[in-house]
Structure 1
Amino acid sequence: MKKHWLLAGMLLLSSFCMAQKKPNIVFILADDLGLGDLGCYGQEKIKTPNIDRLAARGMRFTSFYCGTSVCAPSRSSLMTGQHTGHTYIRGNKEIQPEGQEPLADSVQTLAQLLKEAGYTTGAFGKWGLGMVGTSGAPDRKGFDKFFGYNCQRQSHRYYPTHLWNNDQEVKLDGNDLAHKVTYAPELIQQQALAFIDENKNKPFFLFIPTVLPHAELAGPNDRFYKMYESAFEEKPHKGQDYGPNASVGGYQSVEKPRATFAGMVSRMDAHVGEVMQRLEKYGLLENTIVIFSSDNGPHREGGADPAFFNSSAGLRGIKRDLYEGGVRTSFIVQWKGTVKPGSTSAFVGAFWDVMPTLTQVAQAPEARYTDGISFLPTLLGKGKQKQHDYLYWEFHEDGGRQAVRAGKWKAVRQKLKADPNGPIELYDLSKDPKETHNVAAENPAVVKQMAQRMREAHVESPIFPLVSKK
């Protein structure tokens, strides 16, 4: 980041940082929640009053993007401030018997920078960036406290055999199909609330990467499920990958998948409400920036039905696609007394912008490297907001994909591993936000420029190779 942008940002901060202590930071990250799954983004069938209230009291972004269209690399982008052409983790690479490819010792995270700035840090939910004891474990990447699923594969189960409390295994009663007791999201939520209780008198960074509403589709037969039990016409469905009664590797009937999914979203919304109530209880709302987002587009696993719920908000694509429905995400910021209530922003940003923004808010050390820019001027409504020349994504499964957004243009390349110079689809988002009409043939100069940006944005990784060398 250029020094003059840092100086301008510090001048912006001076108006409020002189009179108050460093603001707390709460970042809530949903799992596989589509842009259209929230009422404030157009959802009509599922109730999300708490998140809608967050938007009404803060700023709702309409052109914000996740790191990529699948879990681990998207979260790596968020934590490292780098897009998927640079970030260390670029795919869901599994390690047996538990865990994923870990972030390297050399990788700097947002949590580490905030910790250096005097923040107490906690993460509650799903990690997936390095198993306990590895270089990528949460306690080695800046978190004082971690509670939840370390392995994202384990997080497919809402009644798991165990969770992790830092480096200590917490054994549960999961996979006992006849006597399920511990619904992991509720247990994790209580730990997140306790973190606020314990750290209310000092600056804290609370990261809540909830597993809701990721597949499997499962939950107690309580008020959240009952809200929707009779609301939708449904047929019994065989889960594609997971079911609410599935043992590991098993396939069981999902009796009412739509009601189950809707109940899971409403449960997640209620958890957001509980966090806000706890902050309000301690008088922390005016000194806490609260951010809500999702890691990628909506999923179809386990009987989830994104078409029925319009989970992609009318956009093309779902999870694993680099079309808008796979990568454009909800992004809401509430900061009482600082961010204008009920405001919206068309700023075109992405997960890699979060690190430079929050380190600026926290007056933390500058990242050694970031692809992001601070959007603090947008939040404050003051100063000149720098803009991206372009945004870049890559996806390493299904033959490999790349995508670029530059202004109104969106370019997508499929089957990259078979042909790194294969055809590029081009869409004019200003006229065609649903990406239905490929205008590459009419705009060869734009296609050529987008191809060049794809080449320059991608740095080949020996761990996650994408472009074959010839």
Structure 2
Amino acid sequence: MVYKHPPNIIYILADDLGYGDLSCYGQQRFNTPNIDALASHGIRFTQHYSGSTVCAPSRSTLMTGQHTGHTPIRGNKSIAPEGQHPIADEVLTLAEVLRAKGYATGAFGKWGLGYPGSTGDPIKQGFDTFYGYNCQFIAHNYYPYHLWHNEEKIMLQQNEADKEGVYAPELIHEKALAFIEENKDQPFFAYIPSIVPHAELKAPERYMAKYRGKLQPEKSYKGCDPGCKRYKIGGYGSQPEVHAAFAAMIHVLDEQVGEIVAKVKALGIAENTLIFFTSDNGPHLEGGADPNYFDSNGIYRGYKRDLYEGGIRVPMIAHWEGTITPGQTTDHVSAFWDVLPTVVELAGAKVPEQVDGISFLPALLGKEQPKHKHLYWEFQTQYRKPAQAVLMGGRWKAIRKVKDQNFTPMEIYDLESDPGERHNLAAIRPELVKKALAIIERERIDSPVPEWNFDIGNN
């Protein structure tokens, strides 16, 4: 489909926001009115999946349209002194495709796909402008010593030493709003990978005051404070009011979404702007976070770093005034690698051949939607057991892990009758085990990075 005036694309990516962390997806302890409004005036996906269960590979699937059996970044691999393993120069990204079609491209938030100056630097991967954290490790901290503007390191004097003068998510948000306004008269792609609500639990006092004492029993966390070696360089700061802080952070995120929508309307471009909202993976257990208290994964099993549903099933909302029929809900099975073909189709560009995704534009427009036969994930990390997962027909879920350099037996779950993945059916459904193994064999190729391959004795 080719549009005479290609729509603007705003893609808001929360960081470690669980499926159950929005009131429109069932959250009971606080409300998210602006995100709820986005959903009520658009379409809400109930079976949308992140690219991975941790940050960098999830973002890699988004940028490349390839699942983690193919995408170049398959794990969180840090490069000293700051940044992550870079995407290679020859990799074609969503931003590069859109820029070639005349889009202004900007990224505001957390990158994590290549250290400053590398081939993976966002400025070298299709973005005209970038403002935020290059390194996802430093993005653990909300009052950092510095941020990056393109290739310039911006020192934040208000945050020197132990000062907490400027809350980085607010600073980044201002830059995103300015980009939208500056490019209102041409097609633009605003990629907004927020750092909320990952890691350090901190929010400005005016937000903390709204929740203090209201989320009992409260919980405290002793973390990395002034004098700690990793203070403001990845260490999680202490938080005496964990529950209030988490709700306050979501309040910040929700308010920023509302301001983005208001900006688009004020500029008169709402009918030509498609807004997405989603999360990069399931809820985390770091820095004192308490996902069980908030029921952040809803009915689903697992958290960040799991390939169970709680680690990869995420909220996803799409809003396009005048084009997407308001108040819809869809159970179409989709994943991050579907975003590139969807957006590229809207832009009137050719979808790259190496893409694994399927455009879900028909689902957005209420038309007949092609479906995936299966989805594939693999998780590579030194912190938890590596794993693979296959979703077959949107119903049958297969998972196997690595233990003692060998794969564990395959687990099989029926998501229709057992969405919480409590009953392993592998013993009575051997044909599904065989089918999943065949899909894995077809879908994955070895990574050129040794750490992102399965170190096993019997493959």
TM-score (norm 1): 0.92
Task: Name the residue aligned to 1:94.
Answer: 78
Unpaired segments of 5 or more residues in structure 1?
1-9
Tell me, yes or no, if the aligned pair for 2:109 and 2:192 is still in contact at 8 Å.
yes
When residues 249 and 370 of structure 1 are mapped into structure 2, their CA distance, relative to the original with a 3 A threshold, is: closer
Determine the C-alpha separation between the residues in 1 that align with 2:49 and 2:171.
30
- In the other structure, the counterpart of 1:457 is 443
Residue 419 of structure 1: how far off its partner (Å) = 1.1
> In the superposition, relative to structure 1, how do residues 388 and 242 fare at CA in structure 2: closer, same or farther (>3 Å)?
farther
* Alpha carbons 2:223, 2:237 under 8 Å: kept: no
Cα displacement string for residues 250-271 of structure 1 (whole angstroms, at most 9, x for unaligned residues): 6754210010011001100100
Among 116, 122, 128, which residue is 1:138 paired with? Answer: 122
Q: CA deviation at 1:399?
A: 2.7
* 8 Å contact kept, 1:77–1:352: yes
Counterpart amino acid of residue 220 in structure 2: H
Match of 1:4?
Answer: none
Give the CA deviation at 1:451: 1.4
**2:257 counterpart of 1:277:** no
Q: Which residue of 2 aligns with 1:371?
A: 356
The residue that corresponds to 1:198 in the other structure is: 182
> Paired residue for 1:237?
220
Pick from 281, 284, 288 the counterpart of residue 296 of structure 1. 281
* Equivalent position of 2:402 in the other structure: 415
**Cα offset, 1:240, TM superposition:** 6.2
Given the two structures, how large is their TM-score scaled by the length of structure 2? 0.95
Partner of 2:377: 393
Match of 1:149 among 130, 133, 140: 133
Counterpart of 2:110 in structure 1 is: 126
- State how 1:168-179 maps to structure 2 within 5 Å: 168-173=152-157, 176=160, 178-179=162-163
Structure 1 outlier segments of 4+, above 3 Å:
173-178, 239-243, 245-253
State the partner residue of 2:241: 256
Secondary structure of 1:275's partner? helix
Work out the CA distance in 2 between the residues paired with 1:206 and 1:242.
34
Q: Which runs of 5+ in 2 are unaligned?
A: none
Equivalent of residue 113 in structure 1, options 86, 91, 97: 97
Q: Quick one: distance in 2 between partners of 1:377 and 1:247?
A: 45
Alignment CA distance shift 1:228-1:295 (3 Å) = same
Q: Distance in 2 between matches of 1:130 and 1:455?
A: 29
Q: How many residues align?
A: 450
1:287 aligned to 259, 272, 277, which one? 272
The answer to whether the 8 Å contact 1:116/1:365 transfers is no
Per-residue CA distance 1:77-101 (angstroms, 9 max, x = gap): 0000000000000000000000100
User: Is the CA contact 2:138–2:234 (under 8 Å) kept in the aligned structure 1?
Assistant: no
Question: How many angstroms does 1:47 deviate by?
Answer: 1.7
Q: Secondary structure at the match of 1:411?
A: strand
Greater shift after overlay, 234-243 or 72-81? 234-243
Mapped to 2, the partners of 1:357 and 1:231 lie a distance apart of 42
TM-aligned CA deviation for residue 441 of structure 1: 0.4
What residue identity is the alignment partner of 1:326?
G
Question: Shift of the alpha carbon at 1:381?
Answer: 1.1
Q: Note if contact 1:81-1:351 (Cα within 8 Å) is conserved in structure 2.
A: yes
Percent identity over paired residues: 51
Q: Deviations over 1:43-89 (max 9, x none)?
A: 11122100000000000000000001000000000000000000000
Which region of structure 1 is more displaced relative to structure 2, 293-302 or 410-419? Answer: 410-419
Look up the equivalent residue of 2:256 and give its one-letter code: H
